[in-house]
């Protein structure tokens, strides 16, 4: 009996990582008017950002149905597996509630559901930490423990071009305290206790990049690191190149914001996710 890891599409994990670690991804939904798409399945990041920049109205998003989770859990349990299912912060999305309802429909089988308290590759690094243990033959308890450890160690920092998309999408959290005049400066946000809040500001793109690199340096040594971007891959490459020296294995995961997270961060945004070995770095 093997342990399998399930997450959702807001993890923004690259397909090659998902395949290598045998992670099952349940897609959320993105709606442009009356058109509905499965995040990352029926709508790619490239197509999404083209639509976003051309659209007068902001798209909306919705969590997977309980039935979508039930189908995934049923398939894995019927194949003789145990499941660790880790998802976007319960305070940012109804996805976790759908997962719980999907589990309730099961008759038998072991499914552990966890709130990552994160989003984007913050969730992604929690899922990969768990999946690495599962792939190595770890037990359900060991896989859950790895996920919980990562939840306590992962931090997300994003440099946005504007707060416009977070405001319109209703996900701005404590950041709303920033006055309108500051919106002309590139805001830096993070996720704390499952909610988005301000982490500072950058007056230029170069300053934003330096902020993220300094985060990695201050929290080194890092167990894992990841860079995520919406429409500026060159800047993502620049950040990854500077950050890799602080990562234990020298590997920095690079990915693009998927359509769901892209709805709230907008074009011209990028972020860094770190999992630090140092417990005193989480401040």
Whichever domain contains 197, its CATH number is 3.30.1180.10
Is the pLDDT at 177 greater than 70, yes or no? no
| Domain membership flag for residue 44 | no
128 and 24, same domain (yes or no) = yes
160 and 233, same domain (yes or no) = yes
Pairs from 26-30 (Cβ < 8 Å, separation ≥ 24): 26/64, 26/68, 26/69, 26/72, 26/99, 27/64, 27/68, 28/61, 28/62, 28/63, 28/64, 28/93, 28/95, 28/260, 29/61, 29/62, 29/63, 29/64, 30/59, 30/60, 30/61, 30/259, 30/260, 30/263
Last residue of a domain, one of 132, 151, 170: 151
Domain count, the chain: 2
pLDDT in tens, 92-127: 999 999 999 999 999 889 999 999 999 999 999 999
- Amino acid 282: pLDDT: 59
Q: Which residue has the tokens 């971007």?
A: 229
pLDDT over 70, % of the chain: 92
Q: Which residue has the higher pLDDT, 54 or 86?
A: 86
Is the pLDDT at 174 greater than 60, yes or no? no
192 and 275, same domain (yes or no) = yes
- Amino acid 53: pLDDT: 86
Is the pLDDT at 164 greater than 80, yes or no? no
**CB of 237 closer than 8 Å to CB of 254:** yes
**Running DSSP on this structure, what letter comes out for residue 193?**
T
pLDDT in tens, 200-257: 888 888 999 999 999 999 999 999 999 999 999 999 999 999 999 999 999 999 999 9
**CB of 125 closer than 8 Å to CB of 226:** yes
Among residues 92, 88, 269, 68, the alpha carbon closest in space to that of 188 is found at: 269
Average pLDDT over residues 38-48: 95
Dihedral (C-alpha) 20, 23, 24, 27: value to the nearest 10 degrees? Answer: -90
- Amino acid 161: pLDDT: 84
Is the pLDDT at 173 greater than 60, yes or no? no
Range(s) of the domain holding residue 252: 154-281
182 and 236, same domain (yes or no) = yes
- Amino acid 186: pLDDT: 85
Q: How far is CA 150 from CA 45, 99, 223, 252, in A?
A: 26, 20, 9, 16
9 and 147, same domain (yes or no) = yes
């Amino acid at each position: 009996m093997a342990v399998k890891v399930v997450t959702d599409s807001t993890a923004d994990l690259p397909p090659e990582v998902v395949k290598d670690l045998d992670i099952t991804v349940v897609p959320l939904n993105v709606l442009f008017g009356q058109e509905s798409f499965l995040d990352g399945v029926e709508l790619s990041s490239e197509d999404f950002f083209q639509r976003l920049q051309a659209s007068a109205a902001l798209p909306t998003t919705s969590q997977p149905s309980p039935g979508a989770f039930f189908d995934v859990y049923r398939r894995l349990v019927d194949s003789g597996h145990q499941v660790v299912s880790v998802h976007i912060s319960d305070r940012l999305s109804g996805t976790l509630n759908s997962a719980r309802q999907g589990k309730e429909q099961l008759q038998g089988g072991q499914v552990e559901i966890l709130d990552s308290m994160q989003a984007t590759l913050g969730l992604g690094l929690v899922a990969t930490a768990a999946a690495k243990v599962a792939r190595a033959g770890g037990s359900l308890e060991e896989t859950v423990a790895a996920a919980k450890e990562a939840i306590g160690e992962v931090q997300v920092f994003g440099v946005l071009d504007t707060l416009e998309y977070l405001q319109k999408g209703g996900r701005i959290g404590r950041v709303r305290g920033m006055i309108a005049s500051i919106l002309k400066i590139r805001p830096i946000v993070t996720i704390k206790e499952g909610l988005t809040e301000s982490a500072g500001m950058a007056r230029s793109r170069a300053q934003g990049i330096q902020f993220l690199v300094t985060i990695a340096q201050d929290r080194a040594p890092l167990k894992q690191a990841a860079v995520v971007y919406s429409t500026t891959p060159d800047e993502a490459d620049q950040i990854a190149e500077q950050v890799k020296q602080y990562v234990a294995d020298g590997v920095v995961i690079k990915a693009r914001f998927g359509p769901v997270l892209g709805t709230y961060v907008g074009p011209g945004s990028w972020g860094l996710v770190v999992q630090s070995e140092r417990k005193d770095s989480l401040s």
